[in-house]
Amino acid sequence: MISEQMQDALNKQLQKEFYSAYLYLGMSAWCSENGLNGSAKWFMIQFEEEQMHAMKVYHYLLGQGNHIELLSVKPSKTQYDSLLSCFEQSLSHERAMTKSFNTLCDMALKEKDHATYTFLQWFVNEQVEEEATVGEVIGKLKLVGNGNGLFMIDSQLLDRQPQVDLP
């Protein structure tokens, strides 16, 4: 069993992961409504991955004999100015999530909770990958601007395949 303080922090992280899912579902909806089907699929896979992240935290808490709290998830917008804006907001969100995991790691080390620290390392690595991937798409979108190049990138995003990594 992990400490009550760590349990509360992980329950908050569970809420943040579900919010992340909601955020990406909103982006996927906006892309679908604007004919960006490749990007809609990309964000839909992101939505599914965020739910998987939430469930990793959920199963970890239960596995440690701790208590689950399902905190409310705030609404997420479904209106964006552009595809670039979606990805820029995604990057800023992922940077905030990285900070959140770093704080959790600090807390785990302070409590000498090595099981939780080890558990969190998967997320620390995942954040590095997510920030890099989103940053790369932003770079391409900035390069091409609007027009034909945008649709070329959209069709490239259609190639994304779901990650097979269930909790």
Which residues of this chain interact with ligand FEO, rule CB under 6 A? 17, 20, 50, 53, 94, 97, 130
Closest CB to ligand FEO among residues 33, 165: 165
Closest CB to ligand FEO among residues 20, 116: 20
Closest CB to ligand FEO among residues 43, 117: 43
Minimum Å gap between C-beta 22 and ligand FEO is 12
18 by Cβ neighbours in 10 Å (0-12 / 13-18 / 19+) ranks as buried
Q: Which residue is nearest to ligand FEO (CB)?
A: 53
Minimum Å gap between C-beta 145 and ligand FEO is 27
Write phi, then psi, for 159 (nearest 5 degrees). -75, -10
CB–CB of 80/90 below 8 Å? Answer: no
Minimum Å gap between C-beta 130 and ligand FEO is 5
Minimum Å gap between C-beta 164 and ligand FEO is 16
- How many contiguous H segments (helices) and E segments (strands) does the chain have? 5, 0
Minimum Å gap between C-beta 62 and ligand FEO is 19
- Dihedral angle at the C-alpha atoms of 57, 58, 59, 60, nearest 10 degrees? 40
Closest CB to ligand FEO among residues 94, 113: 94
80 Cβ contact partners less than 8 Å away, ≥ 6 residues apart: 27, 30, 86, 89
Tokens representing 70?
Answer: 């399902």
Closest CB to ligand FEO among residues 17, 88: 17
